[in-house]
Amino acid sequence: MILNLLRALWSYRYFLVTSIMADFRNRVLRSRLGFLWIILAPLSQVLIYAFVLSNLMSQRLPGIDSSFSYAIYLMSGFQAWLLFSEIITRSITVFIDNGNVLKKISFPRTILPIVVISTSLITNLIFLALVIITFTLVGFPLGWNLLWLPVMMVINTAFAAGIGLVAGILNVFIRDIGQLTPILMQFLFWFTPIVYTINILPEAFQKIVMLNPMFWIIDGYHRVMVFNEAPLNGPLMVIFGLSLVILGLAFWLFRKASPEMVDAL
């Protein structure tokens, strides 16, 4: 079963590459600034938060020895959040967006989420390059613990893909999910210490935020990128396990939904 899937994916490897390339080309094709837009959108978000909140936040970042401390904190948080949110938002519509192809050509459908995850990862790596360049420019040292970053990305991707695919499959049949998700994402964003630090929250509230898996993922990114520490293994292992369970559910749901998917598209 899994073996068949892998074999199918292997025979579709070139397709995967050309789709990813086409996806990027497509996003930048009709614009003047082209590739820059992929960076500019998230960057402007970071700049806005840095500008609006830096005075409010700068006093409260112990352990960072830089006048750009808040911007650095913000960027590492966004490094995690952007990957998470891009995978989720694109997974939700992946089957609907490709409805036309699904109705006309018979092919292994698992290829579609894989294209989504791959392109999201590539965008994220481009953003990472930008972050590293910025850190270097402002003279902020990157430590050896940055080597943990790939691990963090795997956990983050697994978690996002699991949730995104479950929602994406259900969204084919129940379109409310596509409408609801952006709202939930807004809540999640503000319930996660990305633009603020957890210690500005009241004690009782901190405990609630800690129940949010995204808190631990973002925290891992912060440790690895900002504080040059190893991430906290315990909670992250739990989240990774949870992600695998959700991915399993997504896979099972996909097999159940697959025969009826084209009927509803």
Partner 1 sequence: MSHVVMNVSGLGKVFRRYSHELYRVLRWFGIKAPIAEERWVLKDISFEVLSGQALGIVGRNGAGKSTLLKLITGTMRPSAGAVTIHGKIAAILELGMGFNPDYTGRQNVFHALGLMGHQHAEIAATLDDIAGFSELGTYFDQPLRVYSSGMHMRLAFSVATAFRPDILIVDEALSVGDAYFQHKSFDRIKAFQKEGTTLILVSHDRMALLSLCDRAILLHNGAVAKDGDPEAVLDYYNALLSDASDASIETRELSDGRIQTSSGSKKVTIEAVSLVNARGDSVDTLDVGESVTIRVRTRVHQPVDNLVLGYSIKDRFGQTLYGTNTHYTAQSLEHVLPGDVFDFSIAFEAHFGEGSYSVALALVGGENHIGDNYEWRDLALIFSVANLSRPTFDGKLFLPSTIAIEKLEG
Report the run of H or E that residue 241 belongs to, with start and end: helix 233-264
Q: How many CB atoms lie within 10 A of CB 90?
A: 20
Total Cβ atoms within 10 A of residue 61: 16
- Considering only 14, 139, 144, 183, the residue that binds partner 1 (CB under 8 A) is 14
CA 185 to chain centre: 12
Q: Among 5, 11, 138, 200, indicate the residue that binds partner 1 (CB under 8 A).
A: 11
Smallest gap from residue 100 Cβ to partner 1 (A):
5
How far apart, in Å, do the first and last CA atoms of the chain sit? 26
CB 120 within 8 A of CB 164: no
Which two tokens mark 53?
A: 């909140």
Taking contact as CB under 8 A, which single stretch among the options 70-78, 94-102, 124-132, 185-193 is the one that binds partner 1?
94-102
Which of the stretches 74-82, 104-112, 199-207, 224-232 binds partner 1 when contact is defined by CB under 8 A? 104-112
Q: How far apart are CA 157 and CA 148, in angstroms?
A: 14
Nearer to partner 1, 7 or 207 (CB): 7
Choose which of 59, 104, 137, 144 interacts with partner 1 (CB under 8 A).
Answer: 104
- The answer to whether residue 263 forms part of the interface with partner 1 (CB under 8 A) is yes
Stretch that binds partner 1, among 16-24, 32-40, 68-76, 78-86 (CB under 8 A): 16-24
Binding to partner 1 by residue 179, rule CB under 8 A?
no
Binding of partner 1 by 24 (CB under 8 A): no
Q: Under the criterion CB under 8 A, does residue 257 sit at the interface with partner 1? A: yes
- Asked if residue 7 binds partner 1 (CB under 8 A), the reply is no
State the Cα–Cα distance between residues 9 and 111, nearest whole angstrom: 7
Contact status: 230 vs partner 1 (CB under 8 A): no
Q: List CB contacts of 232: < 8 A, sequence separation 6 or more.
A: 216, 219, 220, 223
| Residue 233 binds partner 1, judged by CB under 8 A | no
Confirm if 172 and 257 have CB atoms less than 8 A apart: yes
Positions touching partner 1 (CB under 8 A) are 11-12, 14-15, 17-19, 22, 25-26, 29-30, 98, 100-107, 111, 170, 173-174, 253, 256-260, 262-263
